[in-house]
Structure 1
Amino acid sequence: MARIFITGSSDGLGLLTAKALLEKGHEVILHARNEERKRETEKKVAGARVLSADLGDIQQAIRLATEVNALGRFDAVIHNAGVYQVPADQLLKVNVLAPYILTSMLIKPRRLIYLSSDMHTGASSGLDHLTSSRITYSDSKLYVLMLSMAAARLWPDVYANAVDPGWVPTKMGGSGAPDSLEQGYQTQLWLAESDDINAKLTGKYFYHKKEQQCKAEAKDSSLQEQLLDICEKLTGVSFPA
């Protein structure tokens, strides 16, 4: 049995992943944005342990990391939380800074899984938008992919990978999304708990359990270091190399 923490798991792909892992007998800690959503999640998943924190608030993200650490070491952390059509400030904090804070502060797990998107290929080059109000969803998904690649490079004892779940019919994706909802969470599930040799890789970008090519900037170690430096300045949290 593995211990797994999943951000943004009060609905959508995060909740589906959590339910599937619980059904397999794993211990799963869920996360909701606020106390109201926490109570709703507890009703959806009987007996579930749910932590609440608004990842759009840097101090709440730091508090969440402290609360998770108080529960001990986890085998896997799935950075599922994400926002789409929101102001640039929230895109930055939820999609980039929160996973950076949690990655940096949590007791290091054996496996790290980050949700990116094929939309990262449409991101601007470089890191200029990271410190401006022009950051887009595509930019944020490139930066979180870059974070996963940095973790894989700096922590060779961890399996750190990113996932494109596809365009799936969740609240974020919309009812007309063409990809499979079932396939949308199976890769995260697989990377979090499988002993399959193909799941025990690191520094990869997956779609439906198959490695995909990603934008070259994500693999650029100098850009990764710049990303970590900027995130440290914005959050006050250092990355433990």
Structure 2
Amino acid sequence: MSRSRTRTALVTGGNRGIGLEICRQLLQAGHDVVLAARDEARGRSAARGLKSADGRLRVEQLDVTSRASVTDCATRLVADGVEIDILVNNAGVYPTDSFFSLTEDTFREALDVNLMGAFHTSQVFVPAMTRRGWGRVVNVSSGLGAMTDNVPSPAAYGISKAALNALTLVVSAAAGHGVKVNAVCPGWVRTDMGGAWAPTSVEKGADTAVWLARLPDDGPTGGFFRHRRRIAW
């Protein structure tokens, strides 16, 4: 692959919060960006707030819980000659129910979005990165899923993020040389999910994910990072 080609990033859940800020920062860094959103109208509305030159921003409808939706998105991109070099698995939900109050439906939703979403996108988009010998995958996780810090919590959220961390290691091993696969804990960020009282700005919350998306060829893989520093799983 030519080194001069602009790298293209796909960001799931890109229509708000950390995902939207990741899109913004990647555009500012000179990347082409595919803003993927479950609700295409909301994705297009969010995109209007981003300054992108020369058509470098594209909006795609993508429901990460549906393998068919992910495959359809990939098919549309291939048809238009768009190759995904950077995959940011940002889409997520944050149920806060305690374990004994947790319903099966809520638990399944957390697993479907936070874990299976990254499973679907990794299986669909990473093989082409492996064939080209270059790629970056960033899984937006959380310290609330770190097994060494605490019992993952809140229950559904923490368990799904702990599983996402395990998936990160599996994909890193499977992706092969040249593809860097890492997880990031953005911290407690002032978004709709994190709340207005969270101590971390959305710009700072997106920073490490963008850093991982732009790692040099000698950068790390199979790691978990916060503030650009490796942390324990």
Whether these two folds match at TM > 0.5 is: yes
Segments of structure 1 that go 5 or more residues without pairing to the other structure are: 125-134, 215-241
Match of 2:196 among 172, 175, 178: 175
User: TM-score, normalised on structure 1?
Assistant: 0.77
Aligned position for 2:3: none
Per the TM alignment, residue 42 of structure 1 is displaced from its structure 2 partner at its CA by: 3.0
- RMSD, aligned CA: 2.2
Per the TM alignment, residue 177 of structure 1 is displaced from its structure 2 partner at its CA by: 1.1
Segments of structure 2 that go 5 or more residues without pairing to the other structure are: 1-5, 97-105, 130-134
Question: How many angstroms apart in 2 are the aligned matches of 1:65 and 1:21?
Answer: 20
Please state if 1:115 is matched with 2:115. no
User: TM-score, normalised on structure 2?
Assistant: 0.79
Question: How many angstroms apart in 1 are the aligned matches of 2:109 and 2:28?
Answer: 33
Q: What is the CA deviation profile of residues 153-195 of structure 1, one whole-angstrom value per residue up to 9, with x for unaligned ones?
A: 1223111100000011111111111234322111111111243
Aligned position for 2:7: 2
Question: How many angstroms apart in 2 are the aligned matches of 1:154 and 1:81?
Answer: 22
Moved more, 148-157 or 61-70: 61-70
Aligned position for 2:58: 49
Q: Say if 1:5 and 1:28, in contact at 8 Å, map to a contact too.
A: yes
Q: Say if 2:110 and 2:156, in contact at 8 Å, map to a contact too.
A: yes
Per the TM alignment, residue 72 of structure 1 is displaced from its structure 2 partner at its CA by: 3.6
Aligned position for 1:210: 229
Instruction: Report SS of the residue matched to 1:31.
Output: strand
Q: What is the CA deviation profile of residues 88-140 of structure 1, one whole-angstrom value per residue up to 9, with x for unaligned ones?
A: 2221111111110110111433111101100103239xxxxxxxxxx710011
Instruction: Report SS of the residue matched to 1:123.
Output: coil
Question: How many angstroms apart in 2 are the aligned matches of 1:168 and 1:84?
Answer: 13
CA 1:164–1:68: 2 relative to 1, 3 Å: farther
Please state if 1:92 is matched with 2:108. no
CA 1:147–1:65: 2 relative to 1, 3 Å: farther
Q: Say if 1:2 and 1:193, in contact at 8 Å, map to a contact too.
A: no
Question: How many angstroms apart in 1 are the aligned matches of 2:182 and 2:167?
Answer: 10
Q: Say if 1:58 and 1:93, in contact at 8 Å, map to a contact too.
A: no
Task: Give the aligned residue type for 1:52.
Answer: Q
Per the TM alignment, residue 58 of structure 1 is displaced from its structure 2 partner at its CA by: 4.2
Q: Say if 2:14 and 2:43, in contact at 8 Å, map to a contact too.
A: no
Please state if 1:73 is matched with 2:98. no
